């Protein structure tokens, strides 16, 4: 590998046509720059500068090397500049339930990132129970989860009202079948999230307490798939009120009121930049 220091001396000599001027330009002695050229010529196995010429100039082999030397030095300068640039070197990991990774939340994160270029935000979405477990294991710096009750180390919490929803009335192919409206069927067809989802367990518990029979008609791993299945009339579901607007659903009043859940925010530190992010995320959640 060619030492960039040797190449820099060689290029300076070729550019200035003089050892002394090249040495002055690089801030070194003439003896040092001559030693650099000698070592490079030893590595190359050829004379690279015609010392007898006035001014001195590159030999034929030196001319072949000169263009490559300039590119190597340019890449070296770019690599050093890259290593001096701290952008994206400090990662903050954030866990969010899928339905909270909204456009409003994304805009808030984008504003934060634009102010602090050194910080890289690594955002993961998933089920609340899995996110909470991974936070306790140290995988996240900040996590937002939905739970029945906030823990003592919660930084902020917000109520999450729930409601029973089915397909909007009068929607073709939705909400009705030969046995009447879907919520009147026995057993009730349910649209759920996968096992481990909080709404799923709460849904089962509420229906069992009411003495209703049920079965899972559709299980979707994403909020979008669950909303689509309910809108299509595949079954009913217990959902946060905040996610149902414009989804083609109708709230069902005959199944009772489900107790609200809590949206809880946890963070490992209070100091900036994590503390600043906690404030921003809290402000977004409070306006939901």
- Give the domain-ending residue among 84, 111, 140: 84
Q: Is 254 helix (H, G, I), strand (E, B) or coil?
A: coil
pLDDT score of 88 = 59
pLDDT at 282 over 60: yes
pLDDT at 4 over 70: yes
Q: How confident is the model at residue 155 (pLDDT cuts 50, 70, 90)?
A: very high
Higher pLDDT: 185 or 267? It is: 267
Mark whether 195 and 271 lie in a shared domain. no
pLDDT at 13 over 50: yes
Can you tell me the mean pLDDT for 224-240? 93
Mark whether 102 and 235 lie in a shared domain. no
pLDDT score of 169 = 76
Mark whether 75 and 143 lie in a shared domain. no
Q: How confident is the model at residue 265 (pLDDT cuts 50, 70, 90)?
A: very high
List the CATH number of the domain containing 76. 1.10.10.10
Mark whether 42 and 169 lie in a shared domain. no
Q: How confident is the model at residue 176 (pLDDT cuts 50, 70, 90)?
A: very low
Cβ neighbours around 104 below 10 Å, total = 14
Q: Is 147 helix (H, G, I), strand (E, B) or coil?
A: strand
- Give the domain-ending residue among 69, 84, 99: 84
Domain range for 175 is 162-259
Mark whether 10 and 68 lie in a shared domain. yes
**199: closest CA among 141, 244, 154, 152?**
244
pLDDT at 284 over 80: yes
Can you tell me the mean pLDDT for 41-68? 94
pLDDT score of 226 = 93
Mark whether 249 and 269 lie in a shared domain. no
pLDDT score of 171 = 54
Mark whether 237 and 220 lie in a shared domain. yes
Mark whether 180 and 248 lie in a shared domain. yes
Q: What percent of the chain stands above pLDDT 90?
A: 66
Mark whether 15 and 131 lie in a shared domain. no
pLDDT at 177 over 60: no
Can you tell me the mean pLDDT for 202-228? 91
How far is residue 191's CA from residue 80's CA, in Å, rounded to a whole number?
55
pLDDT at 174 over 60: no
Q: How confident is the model at residue 115 (pLDDT cuts 50, 70, 90)?
A: confident
Which residues sit opposite 203 in a β-bridge? Answer: none
Q: How confident is the model at residue 170 (pLDDT cuts 50, 70, 90)?
A: low
Q: Is 282 helix (H, G, I), strand (E, B) or coil?
A: helix
Q: How confident is the model at residue 97 (pLDDT cuts 50, 70, 90)?
A: very high
pLDDT at 26 over 90: yes
List the CATH number of the domain containing 137. 3.40.190.10
Mark whether 151 and 282 lie in a shared domain. yes
Which residues sit opposite 90 in a β-bridge? Answer: 119
Q: Is 46 helix (H, G, I), strand (E, B) or coil?
A: coil
Question: Is residue 34 within 8 Å of 92, Cβ to Cβ?
Answer: no
Q: How confident is the model at residue 32 (pLDDT cuts 50, 70, 90)?
A: very high
Number of domains in the chain: 3
pLDDT score of 142 = 97
pLDDT at 172 over 60: no
Q: Is 2 helix (H, G, I), strand (E, B) or coil?
A: coil
Higher pLDDT: 88 or 96? It is: 96
Which residues sit opposite 166 in a β-bridge? Answer: 250
How far is residue 264's CA from residue 159's CA, in Å, rounded to a whole number?
9
Mark whether 227 and 211 lie in a shared domain. yes
Mark whether 266 and 141 lie in a shared domain. yes
pLDDT at 180 over 60: no
How far is residue 146's CA from residue 109's CA, in Å, rounded to a whole number?
20
> Among the listed ranges 68-77, 162-171, 203-212, 279-288, which one has the minimum average pLDDT value?
162-171
Three-state SS across 167-207? ECCCCCCCCEECCEEHHHCCCEEEEECCCCCHHHHHHHHHH
How far is residue 218's CA from residue 192's CA, in Å, rounded to a whole number?
6
Q: 27 preceded by cis ω (within 30°)?
A: no
pLDDT at 6 over 70: yes
- Give the domain-ending residue among 84, 105, 140: 84
Mean pLDDT, the chain, integer: 89
């Amino acid at each position: 590998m060619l030492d960039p220091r040797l190449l820099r001396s060689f290029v300076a000599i070729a550019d200035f046509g003089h050892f002394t001027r090249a040495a002055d330009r690089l801030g070194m002695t003439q003896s040092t720059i001559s030693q650099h050229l000698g070592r490079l010529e030893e590595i190359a196995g050829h004379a690279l500068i015609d010392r007898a010429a006035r001014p001195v100039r590159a030999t034929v082999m030196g001319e072949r090397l000169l263009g490559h030397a300039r590119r190597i030095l340019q890449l070296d300068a770019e690599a050093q500049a890259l290593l001096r640039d701290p952008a994206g070197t400090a990662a903050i990991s954030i866990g969010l339930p899928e339905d909270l990774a909204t456009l409003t939340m994304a805009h808030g994160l984008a504003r934060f990132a634009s102010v602090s270029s050194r910080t890289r935000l690594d955002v993961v979405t998933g089920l609340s129970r899995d996110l909470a477990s991974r936070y306790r294991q140290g995988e996240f710096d900040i996590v937002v989860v939905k739970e029945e009750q906030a823990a003592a180390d919660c930084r902020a919490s917000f109520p999450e009202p729930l409601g029973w929803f089915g397909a909007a009335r009068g929607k073709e192919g939705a909400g009705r079948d030969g046995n009447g409206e879907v919520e009147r069927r026995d057993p009730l067809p349910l649209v759920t999230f996968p096992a481990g989802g909080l709404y799923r367990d709460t849904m089962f518990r509420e229906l069992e307490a009411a003495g209703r029979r049920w079965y899972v008609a559709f299980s979707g791993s994403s909020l979008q798939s669950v909303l689509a299945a309910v809108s299509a009339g595949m079954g009913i579901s217990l959902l946060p009120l905040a996610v149902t607007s414009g989804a083609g659903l109708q709230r069902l009043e005959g199944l009772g009121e489900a107790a609200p859940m809590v949206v809880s925010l946890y963070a490992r530190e209070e100091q900036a930049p994590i503390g600043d992010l906690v404030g921003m995320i809290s402000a977004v959640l409070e306006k939901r």
